[in-house]
Amino acid sequence: MGPIPLLLLLSFVVSGVESEEDYTWHLRKVPQVLNKRTVTLSSPGFKAEAKPVLNGTCGIECQSRLPLASVADLENFLSYETVYENGTRTSTEVYFRDFDVQAEHEVMKDSHSRGKRQVYGMDSRFSISDKQFVTNYPFSTTVKVSTGCTGILISPKHVLTAAHCVHDGTDYIKGAKKLRVGILKLRSKRGGRKRKGSKRNKRAAEVKPSFQWTRVKRTQLPKGWFRGVTDDVAVDYDYAVLELKRPHKKKFMELGISPTVKKLPGSRIHFSGFDDDRPGQLVYRFCSVSDESNDLMYQYCDAQPGSSGSGIYIRLKEPEKKKWKRKIIGIFSGHQWVDVNGMQQDYNVAVRITPLKYAQICFWIRGNYADCQYG
């Protein structure tokens, strides 16, 4: 696809051609996810192998046959582990305040809809090759995780990614022991002082995007991802937050609570990642959501291993303003083989940011419940 049609298409997707009043960020009060007790655990083994594709996932159809989770179940699922750079590990139990479990399920009841199963054909991904675009917002929020995944900047020191990028459900993967995050920045190919009119120094002044790597000093992920805790609903909790050892200076993207598909402009989502089949390239895509549950979205975006952990975002109008604002509403879990009526079918699966997950992730970032009351 040439540059002019692509620009026109992107303009159509994000320009808000639908009626403005239908597509607005509505702030809502979120429940509190409060720490009850923290205990110290033994250091992880860091012996698990990374898995680019997840198999045997209990997805939307499978989960629809399960009983609704109780508050006690959800408190168990959102309890979490923290692993520090020196190998120290802690486990924290949580409890909720101002949370109505039945009301949350009612929100999704009327919005559930199933689209026709996608037949993957023409690759609809776009490599962001322009060095200025790739290092500017929103593409600059996309980062590479050293275990082979993607992540997204959510604060000056925090990255959101998929839990399976650091943990296989039983143990932390080998590469998570010395975890790093790579941020794309423009750098000169050669050093040296620049002299006017010198061809040699014009070449020296050429810049190209390259990764600046930063160590991760703390990793947090919900126990809902651990096997034996959630079993069939583990994929609902495929998210983790990484705290960087030093802050970056890039603009980050804010979190938002995932609206239902009917409230997405064109029912579309957007995300960028570092797909393995396009090494060294940042790959952007947008597509429609085909199905959703309270915690998951199926979508039609073309994706390859390496893009797991990408932040899924949309643009909606800010209340009482003319500006459109991007917010992260989900985490791309990846291409998965999902159990559908006893058969394995492949889908691209994303984890929705629910009010409870928003409250938890916000607290991991800010460390203060008072700053996480509205999302």
Catalytic residues: 164, 232, 308
**Amino acid letter at 63?**
Q
Cα–Cα–Cα angle for 266, 267, 272, nearest 5°? 100
Phi, psi of 150 (to 5 degrees): -115, 160
Instruction: Give the residue among 80, 340, 11 at the shortest CA–CA distance from 224.
Output: 80
Chain-centroid distance, C-alpha 194: 41
- The helices-and-strands tally (H runs, E runs) of the chain is 7, 18
DSSP character at residue 115: P
Could you tell me how many residues make up the chain? 375
CB under 8 A, 24+ apart: contacts of 282-288: 282/127, 282/128, 282/134, 282/139, 282/142, 282/184, 283/125, 283/126, 283/127, 283/128, 283/307, 284/125, 284/126, 284/127, 284/128, 284/139, 285/124, 285/125, 285/126, 286/10, 286/13, 287/124, 288/115
- DSSP for 177-237 reads GG-EEEEEEEEESS-S---TT-HHHHHHH-EEEEEEEEEEEEEEEEGGGSTTTTGGGGGGG
Q: Which two tokens stand for residue 170?
A: 């039983």
CA dist., res. 362 & res. 327, Å (int): 13
CA geometry: angle 214, 218, 221, nearest 5 deg: 120
Cα angle: 62, vertex 66, 68; to 5 degrees: 130
Enter the tokens of residue 8.
């026109």
